Amino acid sequence: MSRWVWADIDLGAIRHNVETLCSIAAPAAVWAVVKADGYGHGAEQVARAALGAGAAGLCVALVQEGVALREAGFDCPILVLSEQPTTELTSAVRAGLELTVYSYSQLEAIAVAGGRDHPVHLKIDTGMRRVGAAADEALALADAIAESTAVRLAGVCTHLAIADEPADPYTAAQIELFDDLLSALAVACHHPPLVHAANSAATLAFPDSRFGMVRAGIAVYGVSPSAALDHLAGPLRPALSLRARVSHVKQVRAGDRISYGLRHRFEGSTNVATLPIGYADGVPRRLFQTGGEVLIGGRRRPIVGVVTMDQLMVDCGTDAVAIGDEAVLIGSQGGESISAAEWGDRLGTISYEVLCGISARVDRRYSAA
Ligand SMILES: Cc1ncc(COP(=O)(O)O)c(C=O)c1O
């Protein structure tokens, strides 16, 4: 190990989570969303574990992500979740990546890129207002797909905006509109082999959203999509923990101040441990101001002073602490644990952003336990 900073990734947890999702979603298939390097967990390792546990396919955000998986030997269905720059489509077609479409220009570009009977998923915007064909354009686009020899309709899909807040009626309205559009497509003889709408939150909370497949991301990693879904996410196991070893120890006195800006002042003498991890690794600078803690010796300890680029400091009180002691930033130690969601709450964000923010310079260590 080159650094005293690493992320443990439990591939056994990934397998367990995918098996759990498969049984929840059945008979719908589970496609594991491994974009953004598997939400920071490692796309290839997660993909292998997920497929081994029953996932039927993979979803990525970028053509490069899909091509990298093909080059690593994955021959399963891989879906790119939104339209791509035309410059990427030749690679996508060659790699046999299934492509999401919602415009005539993308359909034409797939033909120019050499597509022949290439599988595409027609994405319809039922309320997310991010990407997708408008509801009143969907039928004409499906017709255009049917008429083209470059593509074939492999799927019809939509994306839900607020499934992580299950009390909000908006999700039911999105599903109802999607159902109506599927009926209109069927009347026009469009029968997509796959229909999909659900992310993790919808998979857990909205049975009507599961259709033929679900696109599960955060739940694959064992993290609840939101606090409102914690009761449904109970069987999932977090796969990632973020750890470091104490690299320096010192005693400070009452009145001493610490780190850039000297924003923390010690009330009494105390043992301070330095950890060689900072914001360049994905620990946000402001985690100090928002009460961030780490675990050392099985107890919560406050971060003191602003987090710097490569290092942060922790108040260990009167407890003995030594160079080389293990610290847990996300994960469990003793009876205590700190979750990515806790960071998210402190930082005004969500666990997704915390996990994706753990940078590439943090070693990932895999265990299959
Ligand atoms: C289109 C689409 N489907 C599915 C997902 C997976 O979402 P989640 O991680 O909430 O399961 C995402 C992730 O952002 C997405 O963009």
Kindly report, residue by residue over 124-166, the tens digit of the pLDDT: 999 999 999 999 999 999 999 999 999 999 999 999 999 999 9
Contact yes or no for 115/150 (Cβ under 8 A): yes
| Three-state DSSP string of 140-201 | HHHHHHHHCCCEEEEEEECCCCCCCCCCCCHHHHHHHHHHHHHHHHHHCCCCCCEEECCCHH
Ligand 1, pocket residues at CB < 6 Å: 33, 81, 159, 199-201, 215-219, 225
Nearest protein CA to atom 9 of ligand 1, as residue: 217
> Which of 18, 195, 199 has most ligand 1 atoms within 8 Å of its beta carbon, as the pocket-test mutant?
199
Whether 35 is catalytic is yes
Report CA(33)–ligand 1 centroid distance (Å).
7
Contacts of 234 (CB under 8 A, 6+ apart): none
Backbone CA torsion sign across 58, 63, 65, 71: positive
Distance CA 174, CA 209 (A): 9
| Res 1: pLDDT | 61
Nearest protein CA to atom 16 of ligand 1, as residue: 81
Contact yes or no for 253/269 (Cβ under 8 A): yes
| Res 161: pLDDT | 98
Distance CA 11, CA 220 (A): 10
Q: Which of 35, 39, 221, 366 is catalytic?
A: 35
| Res 71: pLDDT | 98
| Res 2: pLDDT | 82
Report CA(31)–ligand 1 centroid distance (Å).
11
Please write the tens of the pLDDT for every residue from 240-269: 999 999 999 999 999 999 999 999 999 999
pTM given for the model:
0.98
Residues of the chain with pLDDT under 50: none
What structural domains does the chain harbor? 11-221 (3.20.20.10), 240-338 (2.40.37.10)
Contact yes or no for 266/252 (Cβ under 8 A): yes
